[in-house]
Amino acid sequence: MPKILSADKLDNCIERWKSSGNTVIGPVRKSNISAYRPVEKASEFELDIVLPDLSIKELFFPQTEPILKYAIRKQAIDTTEFLPPSGKRIVFGARPCDASGVAIDDPLFGWDYRDEYWFQRRNETVIVSIACVKADDFCMCTSLNLAPDSTMGSDILLRPINGGKGWLVEEITDRGRDAFASIADLLQESTESPVPPAAVPEKFNLEACVEWLKNPENFESRFWKEISVRCIGCASCTYLCPTCHCFDIQDEGDTYSGIRRKNWDSCSFALFTMHTSGHNPRSTQSARWRQRIMHKFNYFPGKFSLNKCSGCGRCSRQCPVDMGITETLQEISKLLP
Amino acid sequence: MSIEVQYRNRAKELLSNGEVKLVVGYTGGTTPERRRPVFISSAEQVDRLVLDDLCIANLSGYLVTESLLSDEKSVAVFLRPEGIRSINILAAENQLNPDQIVIFGFEPAGNTIKALDGTNALEFSEFVVSLSENPSVSDSDPVIEKLEKMSAQERFSFWQDEFSKCIKCYACRQACPMCYCRRCIVDCNQPQWINTSPHTLGNFEWNIIRAFHLAGRCVECGNCDRACPVNIPLRLINRRMAVEARESFDHFAGLSMTQEPVLASFKKDDSETFIL
Ligand code: SF4
Ligand code: SF4
Ligand code: SF4
Ligand code: SF4
Ligand code: SF4
């Protein structure tokens, strides 16, 4: 019989997970912003939202991370590597678009070089997602062949039951099964049916857009300039995106010693592609916006057979000039015969 | 005739007789409450222009887009009072030739908006002076009062909490008409003057540097505050800087096209309270 986790047992679950060495993390609102943060008790969670403002990405790929300490001496350079921090974590109440966002990046971080900072965290983290029962105008998972209840990237999928009393438990991976085995006695058997997932209308025909993007003639299309003329070139869309993975390496310190860091970076910035010579191969904002779209729906799928977008909608929701992936793909759809 | 229709007609006229090559205005956005910038370059498209009380963004930053004005042709732009002040600053700082800018001015009036008389920045001189004489309503912002009552230590931890959220997306800078530098100080990397890392120290450096670079230049249009995806209340910093510029140097940002920048000019009777 299906199992439910009742909302009033959540504190016991957190206690149980913490006592076995886990950090429990979930959507929390602090200083007027919601993000995935560690909690001590269930009341700290803010679960009744469409999705947190900041994506889950920072739990696996923090905005800044020290990777090396160096000191330059007369004859040698001393270096000490910082290993990725270790510790088991349970992320409770992730959104399916955040969980899939993480899964989309797995092949990238494991491709020509295995990024231990990413994988150590991945291996030590259980993602417990809650299927969405509400969505807003910007949600677009269904346009990316995903859904408000997709299981991609989740170790457990919870489906809310009526009245907010709890969630129906769906075990997806062994990692999820193990985490829930430790709370098996807190679950109840139930015949209740879950609340249906949110209705998220499809916003564009992805396959057709991808065909247009793949056509080399369209690389120099006027479309790119027209669609991006109001883009101000910030990194709001890339930094809020659960799948954008670009980073920069920076040495911080003085001439003789310092710390090498890995910081988020964005193809929206002119500096991103600036050569030492001063030449910039992506010298205009339209070329930079084209890169963002091409990377997500042409280059990345070409390499990893995955769209580099989970449809969370943050790029459009937060853009200071009301742009975003959705509008661009909708406009491309209009260009199609 | 509504102000929207009035300005659409004017846009149509200016575009058809070639007086302007472009109109920078607002149009509808993704949701009914959203307005987004739009660039209209032919008379047939003027019906896309929307103007109502939801049109808030300061569009003047687009005017200093690289090479937009280099052909000496004119551009029309929809501006609120703060936007008109930014034109004055951009002109004073030699970033644009004000004769190339045709202003479609409007200001909030209760729940609606009303048109402002004038088309060229010069014609708004008296209007801007009248703005400087009426201290803004946000002088009595409760959060500001709360902040002012805090001890230095409390205030520091307030800003520490706020700045720790910064993700260095630079949306504040990109949205700001006064942040027009082709190469921002944080992007100068030989040497790297400012830490680019978004850790709390780097975030303090960034936000404080930006505040200083905007002191006496910020027109409090709110573009930065609205752009910030992590809701850092940048308006509080801007307000404080504006009050400081006024109280210490009797300076109202964007008062005229010949105004000297407060932090880059010197008067014998300048207040020197901060010099030890
Ligand atoms: S699309 Fe929007 S959020 Fe993204 S870089 Fe452009 S202005 Fe910034
Ligand atoms: S591209 Fe936009 S919608 Fe897609 S995952 Fe990134 S932020 Fe979300
Ligand atoms: S869209 Fe841009 S920032 Fe995002 S992963 Fe691709 S290149 Fe990097
Ligand atoms: S600092 Fe902010 S409020 Fe001031 S002019 Fe720039 S965008 Fe406007
Ligand atoms: S917009 Fe906000 S988060 Fe982005 S750099 Fe500015 S203060 Fe930081």
Nearest-Cα distance to chain A for B47, in Å, is 18
Q: Over range B229-252, report the average pLDDT.
A: 93
**Which residue, by CA, sits nearest to atom 4 of ligand 3?**
A244
The alpha carbons of chain B give a radius of gyration, in whole angstroms, of: 20
Same domain, B170 and B93: no
CA dist A123 and A114 (Å) reads 13
CB atoms within 10 A of CB A233: 18
User: End of a domain among B133, B152, B183?
Assistant: B133
Average per-residue pLDDT in chain B? 93
Nearest ligand to the CA of A291 is 3
Q: Over range A299-305, report the average pLDDT.
A: 97
- Total domain count, chain B: 2
Q: Please spell the DSSP secondary structure of B173-223, one letter per residue.
A: HHH-TT---SS-GGG-BTTB-S--S-SHHHHHHHHHHHHHHHTTT-----H
Q: Does the distance separating the beta carbons of A233 and B30 come in below 8 Å?
A: no
ipTM value:
0.95
Of A233, A238, A250, the CB nearest to B197: A250
Average per-residue pLDDT in chain A? 96
Same domain, B129 and B27: yes
Same domain, B9 and B129: yes
Q: Does the distance separating the beta carbons of B61 and A31 come in below 8 Å?
A: no
Identify the weakest region by mean pLDDT among B6-10, B48-52, B122-126, B241-245: B241-245
Residue A146 binned pLDDT confidence (cut-offs 50, 70, 90): very high
The pLDDT value recorded for residue A255 is 82
CA dist B196 and B213 (Å) reads 17
Same domain, B9 and B112: yes
DSSP reduced 3-state for A124: coil
CA dist B48 and B59 (Å) reads 16
Same domain, B65 and B185: no
Give the residue, A126 or B190, on which the prediction is more confident: A126
Same domain, B68 and B159: no
CA-based nearest residue in chain A for residue B176: A232
User: End of a domain among B133, B167, B199?
Assistant: B133
Token pair for B251: 């300076």
- Position B262 in a domain: no
Nearest-Cα distance to chain A for B127, in Å, is 28
Q: What share of chain B is helix, strand, coil (3-state, %, to 5)?
A: 45, 10, 40
Strand A23-30 with A33-38, pairing: antiparallel
The pLDDT value recorded for residue B138 is 52
Q: pLDDT exceeding 90 applies to what percent of chain A?
A: 94
- Position B260 in a domain: no
Smallest Cα–Cα separation from B15: which of B40, B39, B49, B51? Answer: B40
CA-based nearest residue in chain B for residue A283: B66
Per-residue pLDDT at B42 exceeds 90:
yes
Residue B3 binned pLDDT confidence (cut-offs 50, 70, 90): very high
Query: Helices then strands (H, E): number in chain B?
Result: 9, 5
The pLDDT value recorded for residue A53 is 98
- Position B176 in a domain: yes
Same domain, B56 and B31: yes
Residue A162 binned pLDDT confidence (cut-offs 50, 70, 90): confident
The pLDDT value recorded for residue B135 is 64
The 10s digit of each residue's pLDDT in A71-100 is 999 999 999 999 888 899 999 999 999 999
Same domain, B102 and B171: no
Per-residue pLDDT at B274 exceeds 70:
no
Per the structure, the complete domain to which residue B235 belongs is given by 142-251
Which residue, among A64, A238, A246, would best test binding to B if mutated, counting the most B CBs under 10 Å from its CB? A64
Residue B8 binned pLDDT confidence (cut-offs 50, 70, 90): very high
Same domain, B169 and B232: yes
- Position B32 in a domain: yes
User: End of a domain among B133, B158, B179?
Assistant: B133
Same domain, B33 and B64: yes
- Position B261 in a domain: no
Which residue, among A37, A57, A58, A63, would best test binding to B if mutated, counting the most B CBs under 10 Å from its CB? A63
Q: How far is the CA of A217 from the centre of ligand 5 (A)?
A: 37
Q: Over range A139-160, report the average pLDDT.
A: 98
Per-residue pLDDT at B270 exceeds 80:
no
Query: What residues in chain A have their Cβ under 8 A from chain B's Cβ atoms?
Result: 31-33, 53-54, 63-64, 137-138, 229-230, 232-236, 238-240, 248, 250, 252, 261, 263-264, 266, 269, 271, 316, 318, 320-324, 326-327
Nearest-Cα distance to chain B for A188, in Å, is 39
CA dist A63 and B185 (Å) reads 20
Q: Does the distance separating the beta carbons of A232 and B171 come in below 8 Å?
A: yes
Residue whose tokens read 């090479």 = B67
- Position B191 in a domain: yes
Per-residue pLDDT at A337 exceeds 80:
no
Q: Is A52 in the pocket of ligand 2 (CB under 6 A)?
A: no
- Position B256 in a domain: no
For a pocket test of ligand 1, which of A323, A325, A327, A328 has the largest count of ligand atoms closer than 8 A to its C-beta? A323
Residue whose tokens read 């899939």 = A100
Same domain, B108 and B72: yes
At B67, phi and psi to the nearest 5? 65, 5
The 10s digit of each residue's pLDDT in B51-105 is 999 999 999 999 999 889 999 999 999 999 999 999 999 999 999 999 999 999 9
Q: Does the distance separating the beta carbons of A316 and B39 come in below 8 Å?
A: no
Per-residue pLDDT at A152 exceeds 90:
yes
Q: How far is the CA of A70 from the centre of ligand 5 (A)?
A: 30
- The DSSP bridge partners found for residue A256 are none
Per-residue pLDDT at B275 exceeds 70:
no
- Position B156 in a domain: yes
Per-residue pLDDT at B141 exceeds 80:
no
Chain B CB contacts of A138 below 8 Å: 30
Ligand 3: atom nearest CA of A265 is: 3
Q: Does the distance separating the beta carbons of B174 and A232 come in below 8 Å?
A: yes
